[in-house]
Amino acid sequence: MKKKPLTFKYCEQLMKTAQHPRGHPNTTKQRRVALNTYLYYSVVTSTYQVKFFGYTIIEIRQGNRYTLFTRGWSSWTTKQRLNQLTPFTIYQKDFIWYLDLRWGGKVKFYEGIELKV
């Protein structure tokens, strides 16, 4: 079942209830969005970042601009998180990842691909 995809506005709502990890008040607030997957806000880049096992796999900028990463972990679980938390569909064919474009067609997935909804 696909969850509601993260948008900039939805991230703002989620972060209102974010907490400091393990009660440490001097660390960045985070919000769990899936197993081993957390949402953070980066003051430096003004983006929301989704981290999976500590690696940023999604950056969301104002205007719902997304940057997607695998960070070298092209696994089924990474692909599942990208599909679950973004409005895009990523699939694999012959060991190559592709991104279905909402307006038709497909494009080969590459590290740091930027998309706008």
- 15 in Cβ contact with 97 (< 8 Å): no
Question: Tens digits of per-residue pLDDT, 16-41?
Answer: 988 877 766 666 889 999 999 999 99
Domain boundaries of the chain, sorted by first residue: 8-116
Question: Tens digits of per-residue pLDDT, 48-102?
Answer: 999 999 999 999 999 999 999 999 888 999 999 999 999 999 999 999 999 987 7
Among 43, 27, 33, 34, smallest CA distance to 13 is for 33
pLDDT at 1 over 70: no
